[in-house]
Chains A and B, each alone.
Chain A
Amino acid sequence: AQTVTQSQPEMSVQEAETVTLSCTYDTSESDYYLFWYKQPPSRQMILVIRQEAYKQQNATENRFSVNFQKAAKSFSLKISDSQLGDAAMYFCARIQGAQKLVFGQGTRLTINP
Chain B
Amino acid sequence: DAGVTQSPTHLIKTRGQQVTLRCSPKSGHDTVSWYQQALGQGPQFIFQYYEEEERQRGNFPDRFSGHQFPNYSSELNVNALLLGDSALYLCASSKDRGLNTEAFFGQGTRLTVV
Contacts and interface: CB of A to CB of B under 8 A. Distances in A.
Bound together: yes
Categorize the interface residue count of chain B: 20 to 34
Interface string B46-79: 0010100001101000000000000000000000
A17 interface: no
Contact of A106 (B31, B41, B108): B41
Contacts, number: 70
B88 interface: yes
A87 B103 CA distance: 22
Contacts of B35: 101
A101 B99 contact: no
B84 interface: no
A45 B90 contact: yes
Nearest to B105: A45
B42 A99 contact: no
14 contacts: A6-B42, A31-B99, A37-B105, A43-B107, A43-B108, A44-B106, A45-B105, A47-B102, A47-B103, A52-B100, A91-B42, A91-B43, A98-B96, A100-B48
